[in-house]
Amino acid sequence: MHTNNRIVVSLLIPCLLTLAMVPTVFGEQDNINPNPEGNLNFLFAGFAVVWVGIIGYIFYLVSRQKALKAELEDLKIQIENNNTSSKE
């Protein structure tokens, strides 16, 4: 469960930072910049949030895979121990 909490926090922080920028973005509706290059910062921030989410999810999957692999190895050992003890 500890890993799940870290994943949630790592995904929640960029979302909260994005939400903190929303009043700034909507508060400047009166002064819309006719230059579309002025919005590149927001585009970059959006891409950054998405990539942080993807990377966090990949780390979660890798850690989960390692845990499952270790559990599978433990189960194999238990099965082998049960088979050797039942043959005796």
Whether 71 contacts 26, CB under 8 Å: no
Chain segment 59-82, per-residue pLDDT in tens: 999 999 999 999 999 999 999 998
Instruction: Count Cβ atoms within 10 A of the Cβ of residue 10 and give its class: 0-12 exposed, 13-18 middle, 19 or more buried.
Output: middle
Chain segment 4-63, per-residue pLDDT in tens: 677 766 777 776 666 666 555 555 555 666 777 878 888 899 999 999 999 999 999 999
More confident residue, 57 or 3: 57
The domain tally of the chain equals 1
Which residue range(s) make up the domain with 78?
Answer: 2-87
Considering the entire predicted model, what is its pTM?
0.53
What pLDDT is recorded for position 47? Answer: 93
Q: Would the pLDDT of 2 be above 70? A: no
Euclidean distance between CA atoms 56 and 45, whole angstroms: 16
